């Protein structure tokens, strides 16, 4: 079965005529996967809902949220194609522990948990791919925890922007920020006013340009220095 999602951990290369340059991807778990798409703001799965699927993102980003008893939403993570799989926290549970909401237009492979686990029993390579995907998700979660753990609010914001930068944007620095200022504040434990004020400060310093839900990184070195909490020996305020 041909695979069009190059970010999915469950694909393998099939070369034509023995030439790797003509390699195509094939799904390792046919019958367990089907393609899905979500518009920005659509719910992918709901906290407390019966857990049945994992999602391998081909495009877009999903916000991982929890909901308090009073209905308040708290963003606890963001998953992008590089993070491999969404819903891993609920792989061994009966219900989803979080809610997943499309932060942008999303295209993904929806993978049946039951079918995936059944195939693991007959093919060790699939189990290894799942472990690699889990490690990728843990690495991203650790990176996000490091961002949130910064003592300086400005460093938190700069680090978050760098963490959210897609690989394709590393050269030109232009990309769509998948969260609002309010959502960024919620994730980083800051007030929305603080986020707006400090991003304006970074803009005045020439590090970024940040129109609504857009980011242009104009000085990579300065932004990295801010993330490291040191710009010429002082903090940007």
Residue 5's Cβ-count burial label (10 Å; 0-12, 13-18, 19+) is buried
Give the per-residue pLDDT at 230.
55
Same domain, 111 and 215: no
Give the per-residue pLDDT at 80.
79
Same domain, 102 and 25: yes
- Does 39 reside within a domain? yes
Kindly give the parts of the chain with pLDDT less than 70: 1-2, 14-24, 83, 168-170, 230-237
pTM: 0.79
Per residue in 121-133, pLDDT (tens digit) is 878 899 999 998 8
Same domain, 139 and 154: no
CATH of the domain at 23: 2.60.120.10
Residue 198's Cβ-count burial label (10 Å; 0-12, 13-18, 19+) is buried
Furthest CA-CA distance within the chain: 60
Task: Give me the number of domains the chain comprises.
Answer: 2
Which of the listed residues 91, 125, 146 is the one where a domain comes to its end? 146
Same domain, 138 and 155: no
Per residue in 103-117, pLDDT (tens digit) is 889 999 999 998 998
Give the per-residue pLDDT at 42.
96
Give the per-residue pLDDT at 194.
96
Same domain, 106 and 126: yes
Give the per-residue pLDDT at 197.
95
Q: Which ranges constitute the DSSP H helices of the chain?
A: 113-120, 124-148, 153-164, 181-188, 192-204, 220-227
- Does 232 reside within a domain? no
- Does 92 reside within a domain? yes
Host domain of residue 197: 149-227
CB of 96 closer than 8 Å to CB of 45: yes
* Token pair for 126: 């699939």
Same domain, 33 and 124: yes
Give the per-residue pLDDT at 233.
42
Same domain, 86 and 181: no
Q: Which of 105, 93, 109, 132 lies closest to 2, judged by CA?
A: 109
Give the per-residue pLDDT at 55.
94
């Amino acid at each position: 079965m041909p695979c069009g999602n190059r970010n999915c951990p469950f694909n393998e290369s099939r070369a034509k005529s023995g030439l790797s340059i003509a390699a195509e991807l094939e799904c390792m778990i046919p019958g367990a996967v089907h393609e899905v798409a979500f518009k920005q703001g659509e719910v992918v799965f709901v906290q407390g809902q019966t857990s049945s699927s994992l999602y391998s993102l081909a495009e877009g980003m999903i916000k991982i949220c929890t909901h308090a008893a009073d209905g308040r939403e708290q963003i606890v993570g963001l998953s992008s194609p590089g993070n491999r799989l969404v819903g891993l926290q609920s792989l061994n549970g009966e219900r989803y522990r979080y809610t997943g909401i499309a932060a942008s237009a999303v295209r993904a492979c929806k993978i049946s948990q039951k079918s995936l686990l059944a195939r693991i029993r007959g093919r060790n390579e699939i189990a290894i791919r799942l472990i690699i995907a889990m490690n990728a998700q843990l690495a991203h979660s650790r990176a996000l925890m490091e961002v949130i753990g910064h003592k300086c609010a400005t460093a938190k914001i700069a680090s978050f922007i760098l963490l959210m930068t897609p690989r394709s944007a590393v050269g030109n620095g232009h990309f769509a920020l998948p969260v609002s200022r309010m959502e960024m504040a919620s994730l980083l434990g800051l007030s929305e006013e603080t986020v707006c004020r400090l991003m304006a400060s970074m803009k005045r310093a020439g590090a970024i340009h940040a129109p609504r839900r857009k980011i242009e990184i104009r000085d990579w070195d300065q932004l990295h220095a801010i993330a490291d909490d040191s710009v010429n020996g002082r903090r940007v305020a």
